[in-house]
Structure 1
């Protein structure tokens, strides 16, 4: 299965057993109350993934030993007020930290894990990648430490990769520079060890192979997106093909009776297909893009053939093919993947024909291509704001409207 942030993960945990029980040992595991609360929390996650908050409330009323902040946050989530819920989870984590005095309280540890996962889910619903990354990479936490801890690998690594990748693609210039650790982590998967000791080299090679195999299997789409951002089109093509193969394998294993699982899983294919479609577009049109760059460099107004051919192909082969996800049934995660990646596609085209700096020296580029870039990004942001509004995620809708306004304010 993909270890992704979609809603089916929490269902799979109940069916196949929670991963943390396989890796985390607790001296009080035999305690009956601990077992009951652990099972109730896992069941609550499953009902929450189905947006069945009535049953979630019923479960938490069955567990009186839990903190009142937990039920308060669940109530806020049930009204799609993810910002209030996020603040409540953060308050709970700060108010009841795991310290030496409470380290012997396994129930608090369970609740702490629930707060952490729920807080990260709220950040995901709000597209607040900065807060998500901040709460994962605390103290000396790195991708290597996440990898070395089984619980963090299963529950925190998906959010860590997602937040860092989103900041790398769509963050400010400073935020992009701060994501060097993600670049090193992904690039190191294929790095060859230079250790002088044969034993050390063999050990490092085995570790790298295991890590690469795991990350490639669980995050092929993220790898494809990352290498597309780095303009390593061959590796991006390899990983997106692998992602589609993994999707088909996962889809074939879903029961036809699992209607909800099929509805949520099928949403993954749209961003996969569009990334693959864009790579095909680049492969077929690189000579044309080079000619267009030369046209903008020389401000050759007479070469209207290149301009018309490019505009025809970008509309026919890309923009006209892009359909919006369903406003109600498609998750915020799917919407964000689609909108963010389409903006990335246009940014890559922009760089291939000269980049943003060219707009200051080429009047042609500023009047021909830049309006397409700005208009589509602004419209996509408005579309996602409407989706968030229909799904009662008002904070995200307001954020997207503000983003749209900022984009339009920057227009000349």
Structure 2
């Protein structure tokens, strides 16, 4: 077994111990790695706050779930387990109340670092609600924002589907089951498509089925991973409102789309607006409101795109980017007149996905402006 497998196995045993997450996080923080935490022994486990049931599970891990977890982790290069001790643990989620000990990821774990917006809402939306979810998801993914949702029927599914329909659009599903499960079952193909082109995430081990208590906990991860939560159609009692409250608890923005006063599915959104959520009618309003938070993501984006960590604050005109060749190629393709994404693709030969990420990083740095989907040099 490799070192990576040993580390994953130790972390898997900590996950399967169950119980209070805070005590197991504390144990990891005190000892640095999952292997060191396990080797510390029962005295250290008790000192960290683990109860007797957790200690018993660490001493004698449940064999079925342990084998299933090992098999899943080694079954595909797309399968990952990100622990609290890992530098790859998503930073926004780390700052949220009661973050999970670990995340099982089927797909690209780097997406958990990308700027994202959660789109949530009713499981039985109107046709107009589905259209709104699709339109917001489409507009957000076009500028490199990852759409996060819970893969439920209705608004969640409409947002995921719309993101997947875009050229190189990215979406992330957080599940209340194991990452290998589809809930509802008819979303099996949707789950597979999201995993292939984005990421499916869960704090529950593979093989875990649906349970009512899992979904409010799932919602806290949706809220914690996202810069903001957008609610589209929600009744007065709705899981989407739980996600919105949890987003507010994280200190994140909450937005809601208004509707007809005669539509019962608009009442939850109207309530959120009365309580201080931002009223939005188009994606541009969300992006405008998030500008300060998006600016804070610029360095992370540069790191993930391999741009030099420090760029000159006032680049010289003859070499304004002083960066990688692709960035210089994009800068040369941009003019002072608005240019469409299709035209930039033709001029640079770069993919839409690469251009979207690069343009977003440049926009956050104040080098590029965008309006109605067209880009130009700023200033």
TM-score tier by shorter-chain length is under 0.3
Task: Name whichever structure is richer in strand by fraction.
Answer: 2
TM-score, length basis structure 2? 0.26
Max Rg structure: 1
TM-score, length basis structure 1? 0.24
Task: Name whichever structure is richer in helix by fraction.
Answer: 1
1 or 2 for the larger relative contact order (CA 8 Å, sep ≥6)?
Answer: 1
